[in-house]
Every structure is written in C-alpha cells, then in structure tokens.
Amino acid sequence: MKSGKEEIKFVYNEAAVVVTIDGTGYLVIGDLHIGAERKLIARGIRVYSAVEAMAGKVKKLMDEFSLENIIILGDVKETILYPDAGELNELKRFFSGLSKYRIVVMRGNHDPHLEELVSVEVSDELVAGGFAFMHGHKWPSENAMLCGYIFAGHNHAAISMMDRNKGFYSQKAWLIANINKRKAAEVYKEFNKDAKLVILPAFNDLITGMPVNEVVEKSEHLSPLFRNDVFDYKKAKVYSLRGEMVGTPATIGKGTEKEK
C-alpha cells in the first residue's frame, strides 16, 4: 500500500509491518507480553524463551529490510504493575539486545512503569505523516483521527480454523477496518473520512489471540473504536499472515475449514 511519500508493507508470515515515512523505514510490532511464558512454566509446561525468539526475529527483520527504527504498539510486559525479578531480567535482556536501534513504545494497558524499568522511549500515541500508532485500549486523539491509517494492537487478532479431522485451532490474523463516518461524527469534530484501522496480531509466538469469528462485536476485549462502532468491526477485512483475504468477522464461519 502506498500513500504519497508513505508506504505500508505487511511482512509475509510474520506479525509485523514495515512502514516508510518520508524515506525512513520503521518496523512495527505489538503485544510482546514479555514474561507470559513464566506463567506456563509455573504450571509445569516447558516452553522456550520468548525473549530470545522475539529479539532474534526482530534483528532478522531489521537486517532484511535495512531498518534502524522500531515502533512497538504496547503491552511490552506481561505483568500489569511491577514485574518480579525474573520478568524484569527478561525485559532488560530484550531491550539490551536491541540497543543499537531507536525504539519507541506506545504505552499499553500492561505497561505502567515501563520507562522506570528499562531505558526506552514511551508515548501514549505517535502521529507521523499520514500514520498514527497506539496500543488500542484508549480513544485516539483528534490528530490521530485525521490520519489515513491508524495502527493498533491490543486485540490479538486471530481466526478459528477447523482441520480435516474436524478439530479446532486458532491462527494469527490481520484485521483492517474502514471508518464508520456516521458514528465517527458523533465523537470527533474532524476525522479522515477514508481512515482505516489496522489491528496487528501479537508478535509473541506464545500468544495466538482471540478469533475474530468468535468474538462478539461488543466484547470488552475489543478496541473502544470497535465497541463504539467508530470503525466497522463486522465488515472489517480479515487476512491470514500469508496475505490471504479470509473474509469478515460477520461472514467467516466459526471454525472456518482449512483448505485441503
């Protein structure tokens, strides 16, 4: 997707997007939830280090696209308030390994005190060119609503699939919704009438997400912009990580059958 001097490139088979603004590229990811695996380990489930996997994947993508800037759309940590010593060490390891890059974090609902714990730039929202970036648990500013594209996380978008044996599983997905001009006018004095809301899947491989074909429109888990219909959830386009258009939350059946 291109818009003037701006470009959007969805990374094939990854929960990441590369945006270019005035010639500068940014890797955009969200919902790392560093420390989430510790809960699994405490329950006796053996899992790999999500920190090492995510940091390695970020470095690979930064090299692949020759990037120096990273935008993280919030929920960097798992613990909502102060993490324990183990999770804090994981946080420091992650950012230390990426110290050569400029990183800006959009504060998520899991990120209180983040800037006290690690040396990283934290903001509630970032507006650059025709793009706005935020976590997704709060309302965008007036400036953000004037942008052509708003990028957010928070929802952990996924789709529920059915395999050949009629078993169900979930896989990550992208969600791209058009603005509902009538509803937006009830909340904002000015807004971009062609704005789109892009929901990123969680970057952490241990988090699949909530299937959009099973989450009701007014769910408390959805972004406020969906719960209040400023962006049209039912008609949003759902894409797999391979870039396939799967349908919309209103048309995808529960447990959509996987292609043979």
In the 3-class helix/strand/coil scheme, how is the chain assigned residue by residue?
CEECCEEEEECCCCCCEEEEECCEEEEEECCCCECHHHHHHHCCCCCCCHHHHHHHHHHHHHHHCCCCEEEECCCCECCCCCCCHHHHHHHHHHHHHCCCCEEEEECCCCCCCHHHHCCCEEECCEEECCEEECCCCCCCCHHHHCCCEEEECCCCEEEEEECCCCCEEEEEEEEEEEECHHHHHHHCCCCCCCCEEEECCCCCCCCCCEECCCCCCCCCCCCHHHHCCCECCCCCEEEECCCCEEECCCCCCCCEECCC
* Mean pLDDT score across all residues of the chain: 89
Tell me what the mean pLDDT of segment 210-214 comes to.
Answer: 83
State residue 3's pLDDT score. Answer: 54
In this structure, what token pair is assigned to residue 147?
């942008």
**What pLDDT was estimated at residue 142?**
95
Average pLDDT score over residue span 200-219: 83
Tell me which residue range forms the domain holding 76: 2-257
Distance (Å, whole) CA 67 – CA 106: 19
pTM score above 0.85: yes
Mean pLDDT of 91-120: 95
Q: What pLDDT was estimated at residue 214?
A: 80
Total tally of structural domains belonging to the chain:
1
Per-residue pLDDT for 81 more than 70? yes
pLDDT at 40: 66
Each residue's pLDDT tens digit, 8-46: 999 999 999 999 999 999 999 999 999 887 776 666 666
pLDDT for the residue numbered 232: 94
**Residue pLDDT, tens place only, 122-136:** 999 999 999 999 999
pLDDT at 216: 64
pLDDT-derived band at 244, boundaries 50, 70, 90: very high
Confidence of residue 260 (pLDDT cuts 50, 70, 90): very low
Distance CA 216, CA 124 (A): 27
What does the pLDDT average to over 220-242?
Answer: 89
pLDDT in tens, 46-78: 667 789 999 999 999 999 999 999 999 999 999
How confident is the model at residue 211, as a pLDDT? 86
Average pLDDT value for residue range 109-115: 94
